[in-house]
């Protein structure tokens, strides 16, 4: 098998058929062999029903995995990579925002340059609000600085990997997956090519602003211990400042006999220090929660059903 396409789907009922058609139109005749792997990530609409029907009629090898509930796109990508049999494996969204034609460019580049292990596509122009674009830019700059790994601006999960890199990604079994970080962390040679994201074919994005913030926190906490170090630094600075203030107050009292006006200062300091402490405790909690979850060694996802169109098990 030359290429496997891993397609995570969450509430993509109206996009499955057009996505399948677009992939077949783009790839047919250009590749010796390819397969499509759709992962239904606990959709609430008729995504699985549509996948089941299409699996019987698909003009190319097709697998469909049905999760028992929504485990998130990163788990869906992991499941797809596990099932992929291709020499090259592409991760592509199921909403037609990422053109399947770009996959051919990626494959051509991997064929032409054996030293490359991955080709990632990045968005040249982003169709999102300036505020979101600004926040994303800041976030990736921060991640670049905080971890010793590289994050290319605008690059998404839309990538084609060589088999060796797929195996490396699969060997990272962490529960709280931040795929973009994992793709960078495993190393290998990645080339970046531009693509223009199209509007969603149907449906709405499942990413609200708050979901993006949660994702950013997950990225930071699962990839760096930088916030913990920051806590130490803030603690040290606060302690030092308190020490200086203590000397100042004692000298004021002993040398000049000034009784320091107490109430507002004390209230402000208690609230400030209390606030900082709670913040740092929360931060610690984020890390401990991850240790707790990882310590349970639960599976990354649970599959309810798997279909394959050249499988006798197909009903
Ligand atoms: N997705 C998923 N599980 C989720 C959320 C999203 O598998 O919990 C899939 C979704 O079906 C799509 C891809 O991930 O194929 C990207 O999602 P979306 O289009 O909502 O994100 P955006 O393109 O806005 O970043
Ligand atoms: Mg999308």
- State the closest ligand 1 atom to the C-alpha of 10, by its place in the atom list counted from 1: 11
**205 touches ligand 1 (CB under 6 Å):** yes
Q: Tokens 């890390």 appear where?
A: 287
Task: Report residue 48 as tokens.
Answer: 């699985």
In angstroms, what is the span from residue 93 Cα to ligand 1's centroid?
7
In angstroms, what is the span from residue 295 Cα to ligand 2's centroid?
33
**35 touches ligand 1 (CB under 6 Å):** no
SS3 at position 286: helix
DSSP state string for 89-144: EEE--TTS-S-HHHHHHHHHHHHH-TT--EEEEEESS--S-HHHHHHHHHHHHHHH
- State the closest ligand 1 atom to the C-alpha of 156, by its place in the atom list counted from 1: 25
- State the closest ligand 1 atom to the C-alpha of 77, by its place in the atom list counted from 1: 7
In what helix (H) or strand (E) does residue 219 lie, and over which residues does it extend?
A: helix 209-223
Atom 22, ligand 1: which residue's CA is nearest?
Answer: 205
Q: How far is CA 249 from the centre of its chain?
A: 51
**Residue to probe by mutation, ligand 1, list 93, 127, 154, most atoms within 8 Å of CB:** 93
- Say how many C-beta atoms besides its own lie within 10 A of residue 224's C-beta: 19
Q: What is the pLDDT of residue 315?
A: 43
**70 touches ligand 1 (CB under 6 Å):** yes
Q: What is the pLDDT of residue 154?
A: 75
Ligand number nearest CA of 43 is: 1
In angstroms, what is the span from residue 199 Cα to ligand 2's centroid?
8
Atom 16, ligand 1: which residue's CA is nearest?
Answer: 93
Ligand number nearest CA of 8 is: 1
**94 touches ligand 1 (CB under 6 Å):** yes
pLDDT (tens, 9 = 90+) of the chain, 315 residues, equals 899 999 999 999 999 999 999 999 999 888 889 999 999 999 999 999 999 999 988 889 999 999 999 999 999 999 999 999 999 999 999 999 999 999 999 999 999 999 999 999 988 776 677 888 888 888 888 887 777 777 787 788 999 999 999 999 999 998 888 888 899 889 899 999 999 888 888 888 777 888 888 888 888 888 888 888 888 898 889 888 888 988 888 888 888 887 666 777 788 888 888 888 898 899 899 899 989 988 999 999 999 999 998 754 444
């Amino acid at each position: 098998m030359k290429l496997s396409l891993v397609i995570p789907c969450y509430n993509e009922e109206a996009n499955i058929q057009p996505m399948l058609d677009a992939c077949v139109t783009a790839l047919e005749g250009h590749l010796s062999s390819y397969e499509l792997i759709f992962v239904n990530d606990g959709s609430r609409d008729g995504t699985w029903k549509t996948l089941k029907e299409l699996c019987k009629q698909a003009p190319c090898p097709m697998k469909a995995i049905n999760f028992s509930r929504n485990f998130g796109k990163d788990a869906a990508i992991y499941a797809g990579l596990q099932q992929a049999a291709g020499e090259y494996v592409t991760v592509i969204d199921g909403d037609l925002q990422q053109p399947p034609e770009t996959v051919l460019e990626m494959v051509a580049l991997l064929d032409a340059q054996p030293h490359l292990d991955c080709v990632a596509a990045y968005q040249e122009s982003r169709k999102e609000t300036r505020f979101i674009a600004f926040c994303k830019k800041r976030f990736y700059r921060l991640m670049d600085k905080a971890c010793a790994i590289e994050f290319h601006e605008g690059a998404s999960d839309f990538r084609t990997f060589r088999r060796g890199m797929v195996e490396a990604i699969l060997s990272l079994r962490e529960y709280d997956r931040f795929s973009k970080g994992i793709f960078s962390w495993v190393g290998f040679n990645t080339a970046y090519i531009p693509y223009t994201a199209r509007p969603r074919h149907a449906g709405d994005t499942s990413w609200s602003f708050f979901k993006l913030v949660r994702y950013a926190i997950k990225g930071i906490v699962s990839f760096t211990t930088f916030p913990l170090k920051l806590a130490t630094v803030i603690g040290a600075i606060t302690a030092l400042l308190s020490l200086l203030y203590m000397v100042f107050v004692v000298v004021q009292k002993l040398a000049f006999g000034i009784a320091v006006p107490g109430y507002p200062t004390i209230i402000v300091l208690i609230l400030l220090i209390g606030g900082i402490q709670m913040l740092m405790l929360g931060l610690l909690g984020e890390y401990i929660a991850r240790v707790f979850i990882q310590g349970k060694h639960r599976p990354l996802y649970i599959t309810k059903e798997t279909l394959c169109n050249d499988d006798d098990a197909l009903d």
